[in-house]
Structure 1
Amino acid sequence: MVINILDHVERCYSNADGDIIFALIMPKIAAGQQVTISFSGVDSVPSSFVNSAFIALLDDFPFEHVRSHLKFTNTTKQINEMIKNRFSFEVNERKKLINV
């Protein structure tokens, strides 16, 4: 399934925008479906959007499950780096909590 972000939000700016995308993704990934997120028409995203839309999935699924079921297309370098950096940070922080 492909979700074109701008079909569901006017912009990828806030936690509220991310929450809308999260609500679309969550049931699909929970059902084991592959989800592709299209950023067509989007130049950049802030961490608040990424946290709400994608990082919140880590509350319910291991990173490997998210990674294998969630793909991104029509991205920019900034979007790629933001998503990669936020997942990397969160996965490492959660590992630290488990090892405490």
Structure 2
Amino acid sequence: MVIRALDLVKHCYSNEDGHVVYDAVLAQILHGQSVVVSFEGVDTVPSSFVNSAFIALLEKFPFEQIKQNLSFKQTTPQINEMIRSRFSFEANRRYA
């Protein structure tokens, strides 16, 4: 299932925006579906959005399960690095 972030929220900026994306991603994973989040039309995302949208999944699922069921497309280097660095930090903090 592909979820286009801007189909759900006007901007990928705030915790509130992140919660909306989180709810959509969570629903799919809970139903056994893999999810691809498209950042088409988004240039940059702050850590608050990433934390609310994706890092919060660590409360429900092990990191390996998230890696297997969540991917991203139409991103930018900034978006990639923000997601990578936040998951790396949190996974190391939680599982180290």
Report the TM-score when normalising by structure 1. 0.94
Instruction: In structure 1, list runs of 5 or more residues that go unmatched.
Output: none
Separation in 2, partners of 1:8, 1:20:
7
In the alignment, residue 28 of structure 1 is paired with which amino acid? Q
SS in structure 1 at match of 2:61: coil
Aligned equivalent of 1:72: 72
Separation in 1, partners of 2:27, 2:10:
22
Aligned equivalent of 1:88: 88
- Count of residues paired in the alignment: 96
- State the identity %: 58
Query: CA RMSD, aligned part only?
Result: 0.6
Separation in 2, partners of 1:39, 1:25:
14
Rg larger in 1 or in 2? Answer: 1
Structure 1 residue ranges (4+ consecutive) displaced by more than 6 angstroms after TM superposition: none
Instruction: In structure 2, list runs of 5 or more residues that go unmatched.
Output: none
